[in-house]
Chains A and B, each alone.
Chain A
Amino acid sequence: MAKNGVFSRLRRFEKSEEMDDFSECLDSDEVHVLAVDDSLVDRKVIERLLKITSCKVTAVDSGRRALQFLGLDEEEASVGFDSLKVDLIITDYCMPGMTGYELLKKIKGSSTFREIPVVIMSSENVLTRIDRCLEEGAEDFIVKPVKLSDVKRLKSYMFGEGPIQRQDNKRKLQEEPSDISLTPSPSSSSSSPSSDHTMSPSQSSPSVSSPCSPRSFLSAPCSPISLDSPSRRFKTSNHD
């Protein structure tokens, strides 16, 4: 089943416009995160936070770009656009145009992409907002400014050997290649939807050993939303 041999590299080369580092392409063990934030400063920080925790990062500046990247934007022709496999989407809540909440809804409303966990970041520690997002299917809600411990915690309970797993992680147990619904072909386009997005050459391979593998040892489904530090969400904020 592993098609990440020479063939996939060639396919990627054909479709690729900008990929020049093939050596990174097929590193299927790394988690690929799509980060969405309209703030340049925050994008730089979140990108670094994710990279330092060994994630591949694609950072875009709007919900619209995020959807384009995923191939979900109806207005853009996405025929032949094979989206790169995204393991996690982390998005700011307050953004002009499409809010993070709206982006969340679009993703959860898509049969192809609703399996991708979405984490919301916000500087406002508003309970109703948090609840709304969680109800809509967000995995977690991080109060900004985002710290290294937030990202580590996130990564470990979603993709690591953390003992705390979500109820619906079982979806990842059923059929290992969670990208079955994405694309069977190993190729991935490298179009750059965002002017400043940092595109890491994709590691997405259709092989079974993609980011699913760290989760493959998951045992029985556990309690819903278990967060190591729920207090994080309710941290005393000196905001309005």
Chain B
Amino acid sequence: MEVNQMQRSFLEYATVLFREGFLDGQFSQLQMLQDESNPDFVVEVVSLFFEDSQKLLNDLTTTLDQQNVDFKKIDAHIHQLKGSSSSIGAQRVKNACIAFRNFCDQQNLEGCMRCLQHVKQEYLLVKSKLEALLRLEQQIVAAGGAIPVLSEFS
């Protein structure tokens, strides 16, 4: 596949992700911070996000599983997850966290459990999509091409 085609695929895919709300302008911001001196910046941040999120989701699962649920702890975890998803532009995860937080405020256990499922779902979705997008990006770079700018999505 030649570079132009790869670049077009990348842009098309990115467009879909933005349109469907998986990613928002903050992701474009991260792309803007990547350059020759820091060519792996986005991959690095996104990887950190994956590690962080996985841990948080595990902790949330454990905490919700307790006899006496510690809602303060839940809130703290969601706050963190909301923050990091917001920082990388994972919009749907962030929104799912906001909904989760509301149920947590009400100490609604059932609501929280539903929300946790939803957050996990959104997380897995964005994870696979980001991995696909970044793979496309890497292919472009490997072929010597430039990564198309996503500024219109900021």
Contact = CB atoms under 8 A, between A and B. Distances in A.
Instruction: Report, as a range, how many residues of chain A touch the other chain.
Output: 20 to 34
Contacts, number: 60
Given A39-B87, A44-B45, A148 B33 contact: yes
Given A123-B83, A147-B29, A41 B49 contact: yes
Nearest to B154: A147
Interface in A112-128: 123
A20 to B, nearest CB: 19
B86 interface: yes
Interface string A52-70: 1000000000000000000
Kindly state the interface size class of chain B when it binds its partner: 20 to 34
B98 A238 contact: yes
A45 B80 contact: no
A40 B48 contact: yes
B119 interface: no
B32 A144 contact: no
B98 A44 contact: no
Contacts of A48: 33, 38, 41, 45
Interface in A127-150: 144-148
Nearest to A123: B83
9 contacts: A39-B87, A41-B49, A41-B83, A45-B30, A144-B86, A145-B87, A146-B87, A148-B29, A238-B98
